[in-house]
Structure 1
Amino acid sequence: MNFEPYPFEKLNNLLQNIIPNKNYEPSVLTIGEPQFETPKFIQDSLSKNSSLLKKYPKTSGETVLRDAQRTFFKTRFGVELNDKQIIPTFGTREVLFNFPQFLLFDKKEPTMAFTNPFYQIYEGAAIASRANVIHINLNESNNFKAQIDEDMLAKCDLVILNFPNNPTSSVLTLDELSQWVKMALKYDFVLLNDECYSEIYTGEKTPSLLEAAINAGNTTFKNTLVINSISKRSSAPGLRSGFIAGDAKILEEYMNYRTYIGCASPLPLQSAAAEAWMDEEHVATSREIYKNNFKLAHEILGIEIPKATFYIWLKVGDAIEFTTKLYKEYNVKVLPGEYLARENSKGENPGIGYVRIALVENEDKTKDALNRIKECLNG
């Protein structure tokens, strides 16, 4: 298998011979990892349940965790899932990599489409699945929203959307998501929405694809799935708690597959995750921090405040040149957009000319970094 280097490896190679300006404290705004303490009640639960390490965890997840995730989904999206419509996962990276391999295994010449730019695990899954890839470009002309192309969708076995979107911060409305559900039924492909940023919104709550399925009359979620994670929501990426939910028929077969891959979450992690999924107060606190960071970015850089995520997709012209200059002169690391995207069949790379900035620090550090970015832009 020939996997592309990860974006962060490409960035390290780009900057390896550059000596940054030591007059500034280093500021790393490249990775989507919240730089805040995991809430104490989650840490306490993990410690309290450490004795459970003596037991093997179930691949299907403990009842307490499944119930907590179902409660979260009903509370947040108004969608009631039965126990066959959800599977706890070890975060979402593993499910994004192995689910396409499971789904496409029996397809002679599988085709997979996903939004572009993208989380690189989508591409890795396509390579491991020997799938043909179609890139759904997100760019300024379509307001960074996935456009429906029926000729393209007719070829697909699996389509992965990612809204709220990493890295562009774009959001699809309930009606826009509903149109995608209708396409999945019309052309009989599986539609998966990566919703890991659903809880980091700045105003109105963002919709789920499963809400859209009901809105489109698909109450059994046929061909429709979502994944979500606690990592961004609870500042707990190390807890590795996620889920996949939706079409029960697909999930029943996928559950059988999962018994062989050995990725069950340890019981102390499941106990702590269950408490985190059930609590909304700490999430609201985090949301305010990210919202205030966006307000600072609006004041300093003049950007429009996104509806969700904690990313700025900033247009800078030559992103490679800007990234190297910003690091050399201001000791700030950002990620060139072209590292997060690929050329589509028309030779278009929608990441060119942009950098992704992750606003995952506290207010003071964020303000300082944004002012340095402004100086670099104006220099």
Structure 2
Amino acid sequence: MNFEKYPFEKLNELLKDIKPNDNYEPSALTIGEPQFETPKFIQNALNKSTSLLKKYPASAGLPELKEAMINFVKKRFNVTLKDKQLVTTFGTRESLFNFPQFLLFDKKEPTIAFTNPFYQIYEGAAIASRAKVIHINLTKQNKFKAKLSDKELEKCDLVILNYPNNPTSAEMTKKELGEWVKKALEFDFVLVNDECYSEIYFDESKKPSSLLEASIEVGNVDFKNVIVMNSISKRSSAPGLRSGFVAGDENILESYMQYRTYVGCASPVPLQKAAAVAWNEDFHVDEFREIYKKNFKIAKEILGITPPKATFYIWLEVEDDLEFTKNLYKEKNIKVLPGSFLGRNGMGQGYVRIALVENEEKTREILKRLKDFIDG
């Protein structure tokens, strides 16, 4: 298999011969990893469960973890899932990579479509599935919203959306997602929405919608051809717990569950115990959202940007993303991620992705440096 280098590897190569300005503390705004301590109650649940390391974890996951995830979906999206409509996973990166391989195995010449720019695991899954790729190009002109023609959709076996979107921070409404569900039924392809940023939003009255809600809204109450994936990593600042789920069409998930028993990606029991506690609690998520909200308020004040409605990313338009990245690192010791590393066919060029995952004090200091650089 011939995989592309990961964006962070490309970044290291881009910057390897540059000596950064050591008058400033090194600052990395590149990776979507919250830089906050995982809440103590989650850590305590993990500590109390270490004796369970002696047990092999079941691929199906602990019943209490699955129940917590189903409860989360009910509380957050008002969607009631049956037990067979949700599969616990080892985060979402695992399932985003192996679900397409499982789904497309029996297809002679499979085709995957996914948003572009993108989280690179989508492309990796396409390569591993020997699938032809149709890029769903996200541009400023289409407001970074996914759209394909019927002619293109007729060719698709699997479509992967990602809303709220990484890297552009764009959203799609429930109605817009519902139109995609209709197309999935009309052209009989499986539609996945990667919803791992669904809980990083800043207006309680305008929470991001789930594809599950949209499916019900258009009458597809059994979620035929519809799958969502979500994770605790961003929600609870606990990426190390590796706790995620796949939910939706039970006919697909029944076979996928059997497939996963062979994959061997079961999460250790102590991690599952801690994750169940985290999925069941909401107040700590509110606190993290407030931090991100303050960070974007600072970004608006310093950079003059319009804060997104969800995610913790700024998709900053620049003249040349590679030169901007190199010079920013050289002059201000700040790392950002060039948009061209996240896209294909020119998508992402002229943008850099900035992850606001630090505390308020660090965010203010780094963004002031960034502003000084921009003003030149």
Equivalent of residue 273 in structure 2, options 255, 271, 274: 271
What per-residue deviation string (whole Å, max 9, x for no partner) do you get for residues 273-317 of structure 1? Answer: 000000000000000000111111111111111010000000011
Gaps of 5+ in 2: none
| Structure 1 segment 350-361 matched on structure 2, within 5 A | 350-361=347-358
3-state SS in 1 of match to 2:141: helix
2:221 alignment counterpart? 219
3-state SS in 2 of match to 1:59: coil
* CA deviation after TM superposition for structure 1 residue 376, in Å: 1.3
* CA deviation after TM superposition for structure 1 residue 57, in Å: 1.0
What per-residue deviation string (whole Å, max 9, x for no partner) do you get for residues 145-175 of structure 1? Answer: 1124211111000000000000000000000
1:317 alignment counterpart? 319
What per-residue deviation string (whole Å, max 9, x for no partner) do you get for residues 309-356 of structure 1? Answer: 00000001101110001000000000000000001xxxxx22000000
* CA deviation after TM superposition for structure 1 residue 77, in Å: 0.2
> Runs of 4 or more off by more than 2 Å in structure 1?
none
Q: Could you tell me whether the CA contact under 8 Å between 1:316 and 1:377 is conserved in 2?
A: no
TM-score normalised to structure 2 length: 0.99
| Structure 1 segment 1-379 matched on structure 2, within 5 A | 1-203=1-203, 204-343=206-345, 349-379=346-376
Gaps of 5+ in 1: 344-348
**What is the one-letter code of the residue matched to 2:74?**
K
1-structure distance, mates of 2:218, 2:164: 20
What per-residue deviation string (whole Å, max 9, x for no partner) do you get for residues 29-83 of structure 1? Answer: 0000000000000000000011111111110111000000000000000000010
Q: Could you tell me whether the CA contact under 8 Å between 1:148 and 1:180 is conserved in 2?
A: no
2-structure distance, mates of 1:150, 1:42: 46
Aligned CA-pair RMSD: 0.5
2-structure distance, mates of 1:269, 1:198: 22
1-structure distance, mates of 2:184, 2:221: 14
**What is the one-letter code of the residue matched to 2:266?**
A
1-structure distance, mates of 2:347, 2:268: 40
1-structure distance, mates of 2:285, 2:291: 10
1-structure distance, mates of 2:252, 2:277: 28
What per-residue deviation string (whole Å, max 9, x for no partner) do you get for residues 249-270 of structure 1? Answer: 0000101111101000111000
* CA deviation after TM superposition for structure 1 residue 372, in Å: 1.2
* CA deviation after TM superposition for structure 1 residue 375, in Å: 1.3
1:346 alignment counterpart? none
3-state SS in 2 of match to 1:305: coil
3-state SS in 2 of match to 1:306: coil
2-structure distance, mates of 1:278, 1:2: 41
Q: How many residues align?
A: 374
3-state SS in 2 of match to 1:145: coil
TM-score normalised to structure 1 length: 0.98
3-state SS in 2 of match to 1:146: coil
**Identity value in percent:** 69
